[in-house]
Structure 1
Amino acid sequence: MPIALDSSNELRFTKLLSTLSEYKASDLHLTLAAPPNLRIGDKIVSIPNEEILNNAFIQNIVLSMLSDEQARQFALKKSLVFTHSFKGHARYKVHCYMQNGHIAVSFRYIPDQILPLSRLMVVKAVRDITNLQSGLVIVAGDHGSGKSTLLAGLIEELNQTRQEHIVTFEDPVEHNFVDDKSMIEQISLGDDLPDLSAALEFVTHEDVDTIMVSAPLDAANIRIVLQLATMGKLVFCELTATTLRSAFERMVNTFNASEHTAIREQLASVLQVGVAVRLRSTAAGTLMQEAEVIKTNPAVVNFLRHDSFDKVALILENGRNDDMVTFEQSARELQTM
């Protein structure tokens, strides 16, 4: 059972959560011997007039959220990611972890409303993804880049425009979808299914059109994603990587060198679109989500099979007629919207 939150700690913590909306921040960071910090745009900012945090306060907050099983997992792994709702507040993606021998925690705000792609400011090459019927779509970005928002927007756009069965496999479940024209089922890995390996059998026995995978990608899970994409479904995969080059390198280099050729062959055979996103501040002080987009064609298939991944930039430049886009080109397009 979760440990009750001390009344004085609850009052202070409630105030800290309210600063997320007050300062239009995306993240709240609580770390020992430091003031509470917010992520506002692309900057980390200390909350004004807040005292230095102590271990008892942070520990009380964390333990008040954890079930017995979560507490056991945290004690074992020293890091735990989950979603949590607080009374009177929105849902948050929570990351508890150890640093310098003490508990630390961060909270990322999850918007109540999922905006479909048509309401997000994205380039045409990204909007066109919703025309796909099968194959693999990689959505990459660093933490805080907006990749989860983009991925949710893609799924919500399909939800509002297609009559399909969409299944998500997530660890943890972040955005809560509501059925529109499509039927959406959200599978929590570790709760509804033991792990992503069980997704293969699930999809084999279910009438599924579109799949979304948002879970840590080790070699076993990458292999499963590639297998899912060979089954005639449209598969969206979220990946933490700052560029398309680093996304491809991560997918391949996770495996032993003896498997690289086979994995590259599988990736080349199923990839339809790869997107990497990043946030940049504009001169007006707002944030813009730039994207680089690669789309399959014979040159891309050959590149994925044989060439060095440092040639991604050249592939994007040469693929402009096929609606491929660099970060710089996407920025120029967004500025005209």
Structure 2
Amino acid sequence: MMKSLNEMISIADKYGASDIHLVTGLIPTMRKNGLIANLDENDSSVFTSEASKNIIDTILNKYQKNSLEDKGDANLSYTCQSIFKEKILRTRVNVFKDLRGYSFALRLINENIPTMQELLLPHSIQSLIKKEHGLIVVTGPTGSGKSTTIASMLETINNTKNIHILTIEDPVEYYYRSKKSLISQREVGENCISFSAGLKAALREDPDVILVGEMRDAETIEMALAAAETGHLVLTTLHTADVVQSIDRMMQYFPANQQEQIRMQLANSFEGIIAQKLFLKNGGGRVAAFEILLRTPATINLIRTGRAFELKDYMSNRDGMQTMDESITDLKRRNYLKHLMVLQ
């Protein structure tokens, strides 16, 4: 018998899974330590079209249903009570159309935000939160831990600085409780119509630090760069494999006649670009390796002059920077890595 959504989320949490995948006509699966497995090895019930429609009717609001109909997918957050213990379970949900009907990808969100030390963030990344303004980009494939890295940075700021933090997310993932900082969280679709609209409004809302969940269009990139140039610390993400690709990706959103201007703005405003990948960790769990680009006169000049392809050679063990290979080698030396399969 097909389990309810709350039951499936509870089972995934019980087994320490990071994701749930529900595909019409197939057995529900989960991702645990980077690998796909059946959600319940004792249950071979397939996920039906009726079940998918019921979930859509139950958890999507009007805006999200319109997005699903018009664009073929929708993002939202969903919260439920565990059926096994007194625990609230939060998920980030993407529902999308495919050849079989509707499918769902749910990311389980840890209620406790790990510290930067627990995530083994290099000291040069930890130092970035001391900056008062500029752009910090965290990049990597889907499921590589970008949101958790940024959450650990924001929570450290929250614990140490008397400032205003504003987040614009699609959907809201980690919930923050204001501590030393005042934190305002906005969700695209619920509280603003887009990242760019949220950013435009943010400049009138007196923030010191702004989290932009993702830079996914030219207008959002322009607004993020403008906010970083005008005295705000802006943290955001991209979906690229490494530092150089992240710079190229930002340029590709703009026509050729505008790319030089965007390169200049990026060179003037960036403080750090971090690429990360997840690997299986000795003793269980996962550990991230980091490629790190920091603001120096040399890196500013390479970006400004359109020579981002030279950055990888320059990053090697210099001024707190490192390449991905160097980070992996260091994790091996410290006996953190179980093996070198990149996890999603």
Q: How does 1:119-134 map to 2 (within 5 A)?
A: 119-134=118-133
- Paired position in structure 2 for 1:42: 34
String of CA shifts for 1:84-137, please: whole Å, max 9, x gaps: 112444111000001105100111101111223243322112111122111111
Q: Work out the CA distance in 1 between the residues paired with 2:103 and 2:258.
A: 38
Residues 95 and 196 (structure 1 numbering): CA distance in 2 closer, same or farther, change over 3 Å?
closer
Residue 221 of structure 1 aligns to a residue whose secondary structure is: helix
User: Is residue 2:15 matched to residue 1:31?
Assistant: no
- Paired position in structure 2 for 1:220: 219
- Paired position in structure 2 for 1:4: none
Pairwise CA distance, 1:210? 1.1
Residues 300 and 27 (structure 1 numbering): CA distance in 2 closer, same or farther, change over 3 Å?
same
Unaligned runs of 5+ in 2: 83-87, 337-344
TM-score by length of 2: 0.89
Q: Work out the CA distance in 1 between the residues paired with 2:205 and 2:289.
A: 36
User: Is residue 2:16 matched to residue 1:17?
Assistant: no
Q: Work out the CA distance in 2 between the residues paired with 1:58 and 1:50.
A: 18
Residue 33 of structure 1 aligns to a residue whose secondary structure is: coil
User: Is residue 2:243 matched to residue 1:210?
Assistant: no
Q: Work out the CA distance in 1 between the residues paired with 2:179 and 2:325.
A: 35
AA in 2 matched with 1:305: R
- Paired position in structure 2 for 1:169: 168
Deviating more after overlay: 206-215 vs 156-165: 206-215
Residue 303 of structure 1 aligns to a residue whose secondary structure is: helix
User: Is residue 2:59 matched to residue 1:65?
Assistant: yes
- Paired position in structure 1 for 2:305: 306
Pairwise CA distance, 1:293? 0.5
- Number of residue pairs matched by the alignment: 327
CA contact (8 A) 1:162 1:181 kept: yes
Pairwise CA distance, 1:62? 2.5
Q: Work out the CA distance in 2 between the residues paired with 1:201 and 1:124.
A: 32
Percentage identity across paired residues of the two chains: 27
CA contact (8 A) 1:178 1:184 kept: yes
Q: Work out the CA distance in 2 between the residues paired with 1:255 and 1:201.
A: 19
- Paired position in structure 2 for 1:102: 101
Q: Work out the CA distance in 2 between the residues paired with 1:86 and 1:250.
A: 37
Q: Work out the CA distance in 1 between the residues paired with 2:157 and 2:261.
A: 32
TM-score by length of 1: 0.90
Compute the RMSD of aligned alpha carbons.
Answer: 2.0
Pairwise CA distance, 1:201? 4.5
CA contact (8 A) 2:299 2:311 kept: no
Q: How does 1:138-177 map to 2 (within 5 A)?
A: 138-177=137-176
Q: Which runs of 4+ in 1 moved over 6 A?
A: none
CA contact (8 A) 1:197 1:221 kept: yes
Q: Work out the CA distance in 1 between the residues paired with 2:50 and 2:189.
A: 29
CA contact (8 A) 2:215 2:236 kept: no
Deviating more after overlay: 294-303 vs 56-65: 56-65
> Among residues 319, 326, 329, which one is paired with 1:329 in the alignment?
326
Pairwise CA distance, 1:285? 5.2
- Paired position in structure 2 for 1:78: 72
Q: Work out the CA distance in 2 between the residues paired with 1:63 and 1:239.
A: 31
Q: Work out the CA distance in 1 between the residues paired with 2:308 and 2:36.
A: 32
CA contact (8 A) 2:25 2:100 kept: no
Residue 158 of structure 2 aligns to a residue whose secondary structure is: helix
Residue 159 of structure 1 aligns to a residue whose secondary structure is: helix
Pairwise CA distance, 1:204? 3.5
String of CA shifts for 1:36-66, please: whole Å, max 9, x gaps: 1111122122231332322222222232211
Residue 149 of structure 2 aligns to a residue whose secondary structure is: helix
AA in 1 matched with 2:35: K
String of CA shifts for 1:171-230, please: whole Å, max 9, x gaps: 211111001111111122332233333345534433321111113521111111111111
Residue 96 of structure 1 aligns to a residue whose secondary structure is: strand
Pairwise CA distance, 1:291? 0.4
AA in 1 matched with 2:80: F
AA in 1 matched with 2:42: N
Residues 168 and 13 (structure 1 numbering): CA distance in 2 closer, same or farther, change over 3 Å?
closer
AA in 2 matched with 1:32: T
- Paired position in structure 1 for 2:340: none
Pairwise CA distance, 1:276? 0.8
